Amino acid sequence: MTKKIVFLTGTRADFGKLSSLMDAIDREKDFECHIFVTGMHTLEKYGNTFEEVQKNGYKNITIFHNQLDTNKQDIILANTIVGFSKYINEIHPNMIIVHGDRIEALAGAIVGSFNNILVAHIEGGEISGTVDELIRHAITKLSHVHFAANDDAKKRLIQLGESKDSIFVIGSPDIEVMTSVKLPSIETVKKHYKIPFNNFAVFIFHPVTTELNSLHSQISEVISALIDSKKNYVVIYPNNDTGTEIILDEIKRIEGGEKFSVFPSIRFLYFLTILKNAQFIIGNSSAAIREAEVFGTPAINIGTRQLNRSKNKDIVNVKPNKKSILEAIRQVENKRLKEMSFFGYIENTTEKFVDTLHSSSVWSIPIQKQFIDIHQN
């Protein structure tokens, strides 16, 4: 019997990480691939990236607008739960697949749990320094199946009371893409996005929702440091969490400047090419912590958003202070790192994912979860 698998995607970033898995399931005769597209994908100011999903030619795509006139995360969460619940009660899937730590993924896990549908979580068990970590762990507790990126993540999932029989270490889908897919050339990317620089850095800074009182002063210091550094930057908009407008207001200071090319979003593979060819990446995006080290691109991590997430001592961690940031830029400029991944690269992630879904063991994981004490595992 064909099993219906629903992938939930809320951003271009998670779609880039999930698309290889979607492609693989779409090719399998034993599975029917469905994709629920929502979140930032549907926002015009971020480029209506649902069109990128549509261009991949999937047969079963549903687009749902979960935010119209608000970026309050609790309201967006509630809207997504309502819309996704109606959707899954129309198609009756066998499994829901969510990724990471976004509120859309949390909504998917809530809906699956309350409707007795297996929920599979990609890249649970990881840590960071903000509310994102709480969301990720909440998704873990609402999920039945865990596709972990490495053994460290598996250990944390077990600490959270998850059964080791429900955890499958398959590696990271995006790292697989980075190391196995032929990326577009930098010339192609620069021409497509009209980037005028030969040498440039990447800047991405997201709001930390627990630090809204200091967010304006933080981003003001950061933007001032970028201006004073006199370097070229490819700037990508923050995500749409609470506080994003504060950051966008400061980005207006550099928009149109000869040293800055500013974009609402960039295609995932194109972004990887930009990151690979950048002098360094600066900000508080997970790309600086995770993807940059795979390419050997130096990274400057600002503030607390990625606190404790990486073991890589070559990543320069600084407070959102202009003087400290300028010193960090001087420290990393004209420096390449050894290409590696402290997250632990595991080959054949997509193949492992598909093989797991073909196994009877994953479908026998009980819907009724129990907390498993560590000594029982």
Tens-digit pLDDT profile for the chain (377 aa)? 899 999 999 998 899 899 999 999 999 999 999 999 999 999 998 889 999 999 999 999 999 999 876 678 899 999 999 999 999 999 999 999 999 999 999 999 999 999 999 999 999 999 887 788 899 999 999 999 999 999 999 999 999 999 999 999 999 998 898 888 899 999 999 999 999 999 999 999 999 988 999 999 999 999 999 999 999 999 999 998 889 999 999 999 999 999 999 999 999 999 999 999 999 999 999 999 889 999 999 999 999 888 777 778 889 999 999 999 999 999 998 788 777 766 667 889 999 999 999 999 999 999 999 999 988 77
Fold agreement (3-172+346-376, 180-332): yes
Q: What superfamily would CATH give domain 180-332?
A: Glycogen Phosphorylase B; (3.40.50.2000)
Residues 6+ apart with CB under 8 A from 144: 118, 119, 120, 166, 365, 366, 367, 369
Question: For the whole model, what pTM was predicted?
Answer: 0.91
For the chain, domain boundaries = 3-172+346-376, 180-332
User: 214 φ, ψ to 5°?
Assistant: -110, 5
Residues 6+ apart with CB under 8 A from 139: 98, 101, 105, 106, 109, 121, 124
CB 193 within 8 A of CB 263: yes
Indicate the helix (H) or strand (E) that contains 292: helix 291-295
CB 10 within 8 A of CB 39: yes
Indicate the helix (H) or strand (E) that contains 176: helix 173-180
Beta bridge partners of 203: 235, 282
Q: 14 burial class (0-12, 13-18, 19+ CB within 10 angstroms)?
A: buried
Looking at the domain 3-172+346-376, which fold is it? Rossmann fold (3.40.50)
